[in-house]
Structure 1
Amino acid sequence: MQKNIYRYLFLFAALIALYLAFSGNRKVAEASSEIQALRGQVEALEDSLETSRLEVLDMQYFSLENNDDALVYYDHLQLENPSRYIADRLLETNEPRGDNPLVPYEGMENDFKINKIKVLNHRWILADFSDGKYWGELLIEYELKDDLGIDFTVLDHLLYARSHQ
C-alpha cells in the first residue's frame, strides 16, 4: 500500500512538473515574441529620433548660434548670447502704439508688430510680423556696432494676400 502511495505521489509530481514545463515554455515563447515586438518599436523610435535630430540640425544650419565664422565678429563685444541681444533690440522697435517703423505696411486690423525673429548670421535677420489677422515677413540687414548699438535696414518685405484663419 505504501508502494502505491509513492507511485501516485511520483505520478502526481511528474504531471505537475510536466504541466509547469509546458506552461513555462509557452510563457517564455510569449515573452520572447513581446520582446521582439518591443525591439522593433525601439528600432523604429531610434530611426525616428535620428531623422528628427538630422532635421533639427538642418533647420539650425542658418542660425547665428551655429555659425562660428559669423560669431567671430562678436568676440570682442563679450556678449553671452549675441542672437538674443540682437532679437531683443529688434523687438524694442515695436512701438507701444502704432505700427513698427520697420514694417512698410499699415496695419489693417491692428498695428503691425514684429513677432518671430531668426538671426541668420552676422548681417541678416528674417522676421515675421502680424496685426493679428494679416501677416508678412521681412528680410533685415543689421549692423551691430562696438558700442552695442544696432542699425536695422529692411532689404525686402512681403505681405501675404490671405489672413490667418
Structure 2
Amino acid sequence: MKKNIFLYLFVFTALIALYLGMKGNKVASSSTEQITQLKKQNTALQDSIQKLQIRMLDMQYFSLENNDDALAYYEHLNLENPTRYTEDKLLETNEKSGDNPLIPYEGMESDFKINKIKVLNHKWILSDFSDGKYWGDLIIKYELKDDLSVDFTLVDHLLYTRGIN
C-alpha cells in the first residue's frame, strides 16, 4: 500500500513537473516573440524620432531665434525675446475695428485679421490672414526701433481664390 502511494505521488509529481515545463516553454517562446516585436517597434520609433528631429531642424532654419547674425541687431535693446515682442506688436494691429490695416483686401465674411506669424529674421515676417472663410498670406518688412516701436511695411500679399465665386 505504501508502495502504491509513493508510486501515485511520483506520477502526480512527474505530471505537474511536465505541465510546468511545457507552460514555461510556451511563456519563454512567447516572451521571446514579444521582445523581438518590441525591438522592431523601438527601431521604427527611433527612426521616426530621428526623421522628426531633422524635419524640425529644417523648419527652424528660417527663424529669428536660430539666426545669431539677425539677433545681433537687437542686443542693445535688452529684449528677452525679440521674436515674441515683434509678434505681439503685429497682433496689436488686429485690435483696430474693421480689417487689419496691413491686409490690402476687404473681408468678405467678416474682417480680415492676422492669424499666424513667422518672424524670419530682423527684417522680414511671413504671416497668414483670414476672415473665417477666405485666407491669404503676407510678406511684411519690419523695423524694430531703439524706442521699441515697430514699423510694418507690406511687401507682398496673396489671397487664395479657391472657393471665391
Same fold (TM over 0.5): yes
Measured in 1, the distance between the counterparts of 2:163 and 2:77 equals 41
Which residues of 2 match residues 62-141 of structure 1 at below 5 A? 62-141=62-141
Q: Counterparts of 1:99 and 1:52 in 2: how far apart (Å)?
A: 37
Q: Secondary structure at the residue paired with 2:93?
A: coil
- Cα distance in 1 between the residues matched to 2:68 and 2:108: 41
**3-state secondary structure, aligned to 2:94:** coil
Aligned to 2:53: 53
- In the other structure, the counterpart of 1:18 is 18
| Aligned 8 A contact 1:144 1:150 in 2 | yes
Structure 2 runs not aligned, ≥5 long: none
Instruction: Report if the CA contact (8 A) 1:135-1:163 is conserved.
Output: no
Residue 30 of structure 2 corresponds to residue 30 of structure 1 = yes
Letter in 1 for 2:135: W
1:147 corresponds in structure 2 to: 147
Structure 1: which amino acid aligns with 2:18? L
Question: Aligned residues, how many?
Answer: 164
If the length of structure 1 is used for normalisation, what is the TM-score? 0.92
CA distance in 2, matches of 1:12, 1:113: 82
How many angstroms apart in 2 are the aligned matches of 1:96 and 1:90?
A: 12
> What secondary structure is seen at the aligned counterpart in 2 of 1:21?
helix
How far the C-alpha of 1:95 sits from its partner, in A, is 4.3
Q: Classify the secondary structure of the residue corresponding to 1:94.
A: helix
Pairwise CA RMSD: 1.6
TM-score by length of 2: 0.92
Report the alpha carbon displacement of residue 3 of structure 1 after superposing the two structures with TM. Answer: 2.8
Report the equivalent of 1:158: 158
Structure 1 CA distance for aligned equivalents of residues 163 and 131 of structure 2: 10
Q: Is this contact kept in 2: 1:144–1:151, CA < 8 A?
A: yes
Q: For structure 1, which segment, 115-124 or 53-62, has the greater mean C-alpha deviation from structure 2 after superposition? A: 53-62
Identity %: 66
**Unmatched 5+ residue regions in structure 1?**
none
Aligned to 1:155, the other structure's residue is in SS state strand
